[in-house]
Amino acid sequence: MENKGERDLRLLQLRFIGKILAGFTHESKNYIAIVKESAGLIGDMIQLGEKAGDGSQAYLEIIHSIEEQIEKATDLFRHLNRFSHRMDTELCTFNVNETLEELIALLTRVARQKKIKLEKDFQQDIPSINNNPSLLQLLVFHFLEEQFTRLDKDSSLMLKTSLSNGSVIVQIIAKGNYLEAESEKGLSNNEIDDYIIDQLRGIIVKDNDLISISLPVSLS
């Protein structure tokens, strides 16, 4: 039978996947809607040829816009595909920057809805680590989600990576104002975060504006 930690972890994972899929389908539907309207606009212009005049430049602009939407959608599909495959194996060697990049791409819409900017500052030469990438994404998501609800609009959240004393450090830095009801409370102490960081064999240090996750390069 699952213990409490495992049960909470599964529930959080389901919520995480649900949130990612909701954002993904929303974004995809928007791209499709723009492509549909753009194609419709070309159709309109052909039908109303006389009124539109010599529209070859206008046609090219619309075609360019369609291509742009398809590129954006393809990027999003690639990120979702890689995100899904992160769950294939529990342990593997992976690049932390790429894992976080993926998370940023999939959560950009959620952040935009809250009018919060998601930024990154990655140290490019950090070594790949041997750990559980999906669990790391889940932990970072959990902190981001909490900060999304605490921060006021026009704030920003930065994901920063660096190497320190042989460990890879992931920092989540909040800049801006907190909502009135949240400013006194501070970050919550969730048992599940401790459970996940134990699995990752890392360390978390939490302050109000700064969450620092330290991960060993190798679990062995």
Partner 1 sequence: MKQIDIRVLVIDDEKDFANTLAQRLKLRNLKVNTAYDGEEALIKLKGEEQDVVVLDLRMPGMHGMEVLQEIKKTYPNIQVIVLTGHGTDKDEEEVKKLGGFGFLNKPADIDTLEYKIKAAFKEKVDRTLSANTFADNNQ
14 touching partner 1, by CB under 8 A: no
- Compare residues 149 and 188 and give the one whose CB is closer to partner 1: 149
> Which residues are registered as beta bridge partners of 122?
161
Interaction of residue 161 with partner 1, rule CB under 8 A: no
Closest to 45 measured CA to CA, from 220, 184, 31, 37: 37
CA nearest to 81, candidates 111, 117, 50, 105: 105
Does residue 48 bind partner 1 (CB under 8 A)? yes
Q: Which of 13, 30, 156, 190 binds partner 1 (CB under 8 A)?
A: 30
The least distance separating partner 1 from the CB of residue 178, rounded to whole angstroms, comes to 17
Question: CA 136, CA 19: separation in Å to the nearest integer?
Answer: 16
Assess 114 for contact with partner 1 (CB under 8 A).
yes
Does residue 57 belong to the site contacting partner 1 (CB under 8 A)?
no
Cβ of residue 70: shortest distance to partner 1, in angstroms? 12
DSSP 78-122: HHHHHHHHTTS-SSEEE-HHHHHHHHHHHHHHHHHHTT-EEEEEE
Is position 26 an interface residue for partner 1 (rule: CB under 8 A)? yes
Shortest distance, position 25 Cβ to partner 1, whole Å: 8
Q: What's the N-to-C CA distance of the chain in angstroms?
A: 28
Q: Which of 16, 20, 24, 38 binds partner 1 (CB under 8 A)?
A: 38
Q: Which amino acid is at 217?
A: V
Q: Min. distance of Cβ 4 from partner 1 in angstroms?
A: 33
User: Which structure tokens are listed for 122?
Assistant: 């990655």
Helix (H) or strand (E) holding 174: strand 167-175
CA distance 131 to 208: 27
User: Pick from 17, 21, 41, 210: which binds partner 1 (CB under 8 A)?
Assistant: 41
Partners of 215 in beta bridges: 168
Please, what is the minimum distance in Å from the beta carbon of residue 33 to partner 1?
Answer: 4
Q: What residue ranges bind partner 1 (CB under 8 A)?
A: 26, 29-30, 32-34, 36-38, 40-41, 44-45, 48, 51-52, 62, 65, 68-69, 112-115, 153
